[in-house]
Amino acid sequence: MPAELVCIAESCRARFPVTEIVYNCPRCGGLVEAVYPRQECPPDHWKALWRNRRTSNAALDQSGVWRYREFIAFGSEAHAVTLREGNTPLLEGRGAAGYGGLDRLVFKHQGFNPTGSFKDNGMTCAVAQARRLGLRRVGCVSTGNTSASMAAYASAAGLDPVIFIPNGNIAYGKLAQALEYGARTLQVEANFDQILALVRRLADRLGIYLLNSINPFRIEGQKTIMLEMMDQREWRAPDWVVVPGGNLGNTSAFGKAFREMREWGLIDRTPRLAVIQAEGASPFYELFRSADHSRLVANPHPETLATAIKIGDPVSWPKALHEVLSSNGTVERVTEQEIADAKAVIGRCGIGCEPASAATLAGIRKLTAAGTIKRDADVVAVLTGNVLKDPDYIHRYHTGTLEDPAGRPIRSTYGNAPEVVPADDERIAELLAK
């Protein structure tokens, strides 16, 4: 059986060739995912093969995505363009563990990717598929990280990237990347969800291949984040994987990765997924807590300073809900103050991250306080973006000028403001002696 795209709706399960452009099932409207023939090799074969490729100088082997190409066997590796994505570390955050109520906490830091976020793992696969299909123009709607990643990979592949972003609602560190990488950038006077609906209507007319997380090949690349994590952990599954929740592509990808690793015999149990949303952009939290799981009620006006998760109508919610429920996981939400303080705590571990990433630690703190996560649990928190993605946020927090979207001051609980000093030896010595 060749690789196929399969509708995830149990009442449909329609199948389509991977060479067709399908985002939603044309029969029922459901999301689709890539499905492959089962690999009939012993688990130890794959573990040894993937580990040995780390010593190779071949471009695909040096990629932390394409190194695991048998796990994403949809037939596009011949068209791959790699910037050596993946290869992101597991970092222990001792101070963050105590703050979060844990004995130990490890971060899987996707900010070490080429463009500084987890989007690179998915984008290398989606761009490869665009090249395989012979397409020239690719596009995305973005609050920042997707645009930076797509611009880089599309330009490296010789494609024409077009980016649609909410006017005034993108961190300049991310916008600067899209501009630098040569993307045609349109700032639309609407929010993320409104723009995505608009672009989906325009895509066919303008010949744009969409590379948002609704693209099933983005999900395939993002699966490898968890595969690489398990490889780094010698295939010992943690108790919990905690991830920020925006458009929910990572949640969908991680759950799919663990399901398939179980099927391949690579792991013997599935970690529980915890998704953390910002309070002002938490429709998935509301869905998870409601009695009716059949319909997500969109938030038409999402608000959070964590722009990477400022999404009120996440397209991947059906996949994400399935993965959270099947892993016996949970969904939590946190305030702007909780995100800001957690971000500062992560920084004091010498690690650093963008605001959306810090939702993980803020959520862990709430979940341990509630007894959902035990103090001695084995927990991996995913940091999705680099600390320099939103430097203005950092400066405002530490100087006491950060405000939430409603204009309320956010306390600089762990503030570290710079000090202005005179050019005087004795005075500086006196200040440092205090």
Which of 392, 408, 416, 204 is CA-nearest to residue 307? Answer: 392
- Looking up residue 352, the CATH number of its domain turns out to be 3.40.50.1100
- Residue 227 covered by a domain: yes
| 230-88-321 Cα angle (round to 5) | 60
- Residue 409 covered by a domain: no
- Residue 123 covered by a domain: no
- Residue 393 covered by a domain: yes
Q: What is the pLDDT along the chain (434 residues), one digit of tens a residue?
A: 689 999 999 999 999 999 999 999 999 999 999 999 877 899 999 999 999 999 999 999 999 999 999 999 999 999 999 999 999 999 999 999 999 999 999 999 999 999 999 999 999 999 999 999 999 999 998 878 999 999 999 999 999 999 998 887 677 788 889 999 999 999 999 988 899 889 989 888 889 999 998 999 999 999 999 999 999 999 999 999 999 999 999 999 999 999 999 999 999 999 999 999 999 999 999 999 999 999 999 999 999 999 999 999 999 999 999 999 999 999 999 999 999 999 999 999 999 999 999 999 999 999 999 999 999 999 999 999 999 999 999 999 999 999 999 999 999 999 999 999 999 999 999 999 98
Separation CA 347–CA 194 (nearest Å): 34
Which of 193, 210, 142, 196 is CA-nearest to residue 170? Answer: 142
Domain that holds residue 374: 90-115+217-398
- Residue 188 covered by a domain: no
- Residue 288 covered by a domain: yes
Among left, alpha and beta (phi > 0; psi -120 to 50; other), residue 13 is left
The two structure tokens encoding residue 65: 């995505």
- Residue 120 covered by a domain: no
Identify the pLDDT of residue 170.
72
Number of domains composing the chain: 1
- Residue 132 covered by a domain: no
